[in-house]
Structure 1
Amino acid sequence: MKQKTIRLHVGVHKTATTYLQHYLLLNRSALAKEGLAYWPMEDIRGQFQSAWDQCVLERYSRRERLISLIRRNRIFPKMRAWFELDRDILLSEENLLGECCDFFDGEIYPNAAARLACLARALPNNKSVEIWLCLRSYPDFLASVYGEASRFNQVPLPEAFAERHVNPEGAWPKLIDDIRIALPAAKLHIWDYEDFRSIEPRIIEGMTGVSASLLQSLQQSNIRPSASDRAIRACAALPSEIQWPERMFQMLVLEKLYPIQCSSDRFSPWTADQRIKMDAAWKRDRDLIAAREDIDFIDGLAR
């Protein structure tokens, strides 16, 4: 009997993850009929965040470690239940690597290895593991993450954020190495966000084991677009005492007030010279990643 496989689509943020999650949820019944159990983000995020919180508590006092152990003994069995089905399993959740607010100090997914090690505690030994990961150019990725974080958090000013991330070279290779630390036996499948539309059917079939031609298509209009430069900067300038529920609703108002009408309306905190430097770093890192023998790099048809 063929060994069952656990496939983890771990992001990264702002690389059509929401689109894929909606697509998979739309086709959940069809996937189940073909033998795949898809656990949507809504079933994963809260449980994993609780488990991560307990892992963090374990680093502190003896009393907190004891409390963490008690809570962990309730949480981890629920996570293990995701993987106990006798079928292939797919999870899609970008917060497994980290959250958008983790980027404020100038690092990219600084806790990825520890977070995935936390998840690894729930993985069974009798199933193989695959990681599915989309990467994106540094300036576009970081600008999008900043915009998303501004909906829920008090963020650094755009200029300060840009200065902290102006030299990102090596960040994506380091993330891959961190994944390897946490899940050394996992098979890695990686692609470039710019190629996604041309290779989408290959990604779908690889992640699900089902041909995209057998699944129902999803309209892109169902997915919330990014906010404009003016909306994001106005949201970032809100007083620090405004908490996330009000901040989120303020952003909805700002998006309506300052919609994206052309490409120049898209948020970017970088100068022209910074962007050129960051794009060059991305291209070098992408080539290094694509050349690695321990990675299945899914290249675009146009390249």
Structure 2
Amino acid sequence: MSADDLTIAFHIGAHKTATTHLQRSLMKSVEGMAAAGVRYYGPQDFRLPGRSIFALFGLKDASPVGPRRSPQAQLALMRKDAARIVFSEENFIGVLNSPRRLPVKQRYPHAATRISRLAAAMERPIDVLLGIRHPTAFLNSAYCQQLMGGRVVPFARYHQINPVKSVDWLDLVARLRAAEGVGQVTVWRYEDYATLFPRICSALVGARAASLVRPLDRRIHEGLSAEAVSETLARHAKDQTEKLGFAMRKTMPVGPDHPRFDGFGPDDHAAGDAAYAHQIAGIRELSGVTFLDPDQPE
């Protein structure tokens, strides 16, 4: 099989759009996909010391010791005899919550540049796949993730740094679409993820390999309940600094007795509705972008 026969797809996230569920579902079928000509690599491959995508392919921000082999040699090693290589690593395009305390003006500002550099290193185009999510729901989930990571601040402060208008998926998709080295771009709504799961897998690994992938029957990273957030903030104020978010998630899990946390009011949700609708309409109009829609035939 020649090098020209190889195609590459990269599921870049975004964070909080069922990325881990998709990654673990794919991992369960990794051997079958390999037999079908698809090699899948995910966080389990890229989050070890010296094994990030940056380090493996000699990109900017890589380890100072440099890559152990050339990008082409690395690609050949990962390819083996496959016709398609699939990556999934949401951290490649940037962090979910910036450690800076300045207001976020643009999500994933380096995403397009990083994909272009990777495509240049691989010397072939990369198909990009991306899930998006309603702005207020995305920020609620991102806030809970920050609490579980130990960076505890009141939601009002988090919202100041992360305004609803900072979640602009049209801007991100347009930048990715315009980036050199990007092939086909495929986008779907997190809200449609369960319905679209077979089509997402087909776009990512191809129809033959996708037929082998079955979705896990559970959520992977449940968020926090309103009570869990309140208790995390209260205990943090008393200088209890253990992993409060994780402990409170276990003690007060989301369910009938503990409603899911929501830091936004009706006006914020309405603004998010309008922004999301506008962004989706714009994404649908972008040339070279496939927007997966459960209301449209495959």
If the TM-score is normalised by the length of the shorter chain, which range does it land in?
A: 0.7 to 0.9
1:296 aligned residue: 290
Q: What's the CA shift string for 1:74-93, capped at 9, x where partnerless?
A: 48758646655442100111
**Structure 2 matches for 1:28-107, cutoff 5 A?**
28-46=30-48, 47-48=51-52, 51=55, 55-56=60-61, 70-74=64-68, 77=71, 80=75, 84-87=79-82, 88-102=84-98, 105-107=103-105
Secondary structure at 2:14's aligned position in 1? coil
Question: How many equivalent pairs are there?
Answer: 286
Distance 2:239 2:77 in 1: 38
Higher helix share: 1
Q: What's the CA shift string for 1:228-274, capped at 9, x where partnerless?
A: 1222343355269877xx32xx3232112222123971122111111
Q: With structure 2 as the length reference, what TM-score do the two structures score? A: 0.81
Q: Does the CA contact (< 8 Å) of 2:125 and 2:181 recur in 1?
A: no
Q: What's the CA shift string for 1:171-210, capped at 9, x where partnerless?
A: 2122123324544432101111122222211111121113
CA shift for structure 1 position 165:
3.4
Q: Does the CA contact (< 8 Å) of 1:4 and 1:86 recur in 2?
A: no
Q: Does the CA contact (< 8 Å) of 1:139 and 1:278 recur in 2?
A: yes
**In the alignment, residue 229 of structure 1 is paired with which amino acid?**
A
Q: Does the CA contact (< 8 Å) of 1:27 and 1:216 recur in 2?
A: yes
Distance 2:238 2:265 in 1: 26
Distance 1:214 1:179 in 2: 28
Report whether the alignment pairs 1:166 with 2:171.
no
1:208 aligned residue: 205
Secondary structure at 1:168's aligned position in 2? helix
Distance 1:82 1:151 in 2: 37
CA shift for structure 1 position 281:
0.7
Secondary structure at 2:52's aligned position in 1? helix
Q: Does the CA contact (< 8 Å) of 1:4 and 1:128 recur in 2?
A: no
Sequence identity percentage: 26
Distance 1:282 1:262 in 2: 28
Deviates more, 1:26-35 or 1:195-204: 195-204
1:265 aligned residue: 259
> Which residues of structure 1 form unaligned runs of 5+?
58-67
1:284 aligned residue: 278
Secondary structure at 2:5's aligned position in 1? coil
CA shift for structure 1 position 133:
0.6
Secondary structure at 1:72's aligned position in 2? coil
